[in-house]
Amino acid sequence: MTLQFSDIARQAAADGAVSAEEILALRRAGWTDGVISPAEAEAVMTLNDALAARSAEWCDFFVEAIGEFVINGSEPKGYVSDDNARWLMARLDRDGRLDSMAELELLVRVLERAANAPETLKTYALAQIEKAVLTGTGPTRSGGELAPNCVSDAEARLLRRVLFAAGGDGPAAVSRAEAELLFRLKDASRGAANGPEWKRLFVQGVGNHLMGYVSPTAQLDRARAGELESF
């Protein structure tokens, strides 16, 4: 990590705010050698934790910088290592929850960009969205009405991006566990004012699973197919 990068990040963290000029300086200093180092990634995370408010410019930089480190910070590049996935989840979950939409967007973007990522990372991202839906709180409800057991269009779009992301063991394929998550959300949000995106996602996601998965418990799949048709 360059001295300039360290100084800018430390001063901004002490101020609890980062200006557009400081973000530009961080970009220039961070990508001088074409990579984001572990020390630089940690400094960016520390600064993100200290910010009282996160501008659009900061969110863009945060997602790009940490995503670059997680995806390309170890060999082979383009693949999220187990160590980097564990670091990211532990770093985001330090206080037991995601604090901002930028953090959730980071998770989703990593899964979209990576050629492959540990399944634990995809499971963690989906769990954060499910928690927001069931409790009515969390980064997906930022600026919106706090209504538990209701799937908004924003949450449905995030779910779609994670379910069909390139990273993970089954890219573009919905696993049994993921289909069951969709059914849990359907049951929890029955009768709620869900966004129209949610119904489309449920039908497409569960349909994808039922069409692409050969199950040893066909009776269960037939039952789920009946539920899908009724929905």
pLDDT digits (tens, 9 = 90+) for 31-63: 887 789 999 999 999 999 999 889 999 999 999
pLDDT digits (tens, 9 = 90+) for 131-181: 989 988 888 876 555 578 999 999 999 999 999 998 765 667 899 999 999
If one compares 229 and 6, the residue with the highest pLDDT of the two is: 6
Residue 220 has pLDDT above 90, yes or no: no
Query: How high is the pLDDT of residue 3?
Result: 73
pLDDT digits (tens, 9 = 90+) for 176-219: 999 999 999 999 999 999 999 999 999 999 999 988 754 444 44
- SS3 (DSSP) at 81: coil
The residues with which 79 forms a beta bridge, in sequence order, are 116
Q: 60: closest CA among 88, 101, 97, 117? A: 101
> For 53, phi and psi rounded to 5 degrees?
-145, 150
Give the whole-angstrom CA distance, residue 40 versus residue 152.
Answer: 35
pLDDT digits (tens, 9 = 90+) for 56-89: 999 999 999 999 999 999 899 999 999 999 999 9
**For the whole model, what pTM was predicted?**
0.84
Query: How high is the pLDDT of residue 215?
Result: 47
Query: How high is the pLDDT of residue 186?
Result: 95
